[in-house]
Amino acid sequence: MSAIDTETPMKALITRKLGMTSTIADDGVVQAITLLSVSEHTVLHHKTDEKDGYTAIQVGAETAKKLSKSVAGHVKSAKVMPKIIREFRINDIPEELNVGSKISADVFSVGDTVNVTGLTKGKGWAGTIRRHNFHRQRKTHGGKGDTRKPGSIGSMYPQHIFKGTRMAGQLGHEQITVRNLKIALVDMERGVIGVTGAVPGPNKGILLVKGVK
């Protein structure tokens, strides 16, 4: 359960990525947008400065087939079985957002500025050429056979690998936030919103959309 800061009072949604398409504006400009599905949200729990040291609202979305006993007890007062639970930090909890109240896609309007947070696609273990765009060694005129090695990574002094040296390792599967995107579409009937540009992660991946001032 991650805590995400939102700068405006509960202008935040848990969404799933559907894919990309494009729209044509009134002036004829074609704009790429990403479509995000929005299921009905339920307020599950309040966190306060007095009890927890910070103010936040826990929100659940979608429906799980089964919950663990600890989670079921935690959300019992909201009378739902959420599949996804996320926490949004806010300055003050609005009176209308009591435990059990609902949140839908209409918290956003076309033209709102948002930040979108998600996990990038995991690409496994990768070498320096793919991960950091290193060049390989030449294959001709006396070049060595191992053309994809990163080369020397140590030093005569201080005889250890410097922290931050670009090497092979895990590529992708990291949390990325794309900032200052615009809401281009809000379709309450289909439960879909559209944001301008590209957002991280694969189709069906979970994305958090947070409004900014």
DSSP conformation letters of 179-191:
EEEEEEEEETTTT
pLDDT at 160: 86
Contacts of 53 (CB under 8 A, 6+ apart): none
Tokens at 64, concatenated: 């799980």
Ranges assigned E (strand) in the chain: 3-5, 12-24, 30-37, 41-47, 56-61, 84-89, 102-103, 113-119, 125-126, 169-170, 175-187, 192-196, 206-211
- Domains belonging to the chain, first-starting first, are 3-122+175-211 (2.40.30.10), 123-171 (no CATH)
Band (pLDDT 50/70/90 cuts) for residue 7 is: very low
Residue 81's CB is within 10 A of a number of other CB atoms, namely: 16
pLDDT digits (tens, 9 = 90+) for 64-106: 999 999 999 999 999 999 999 999 998 888 888 899 999 999 8
Query: pTM for this one?
Result: 0.83
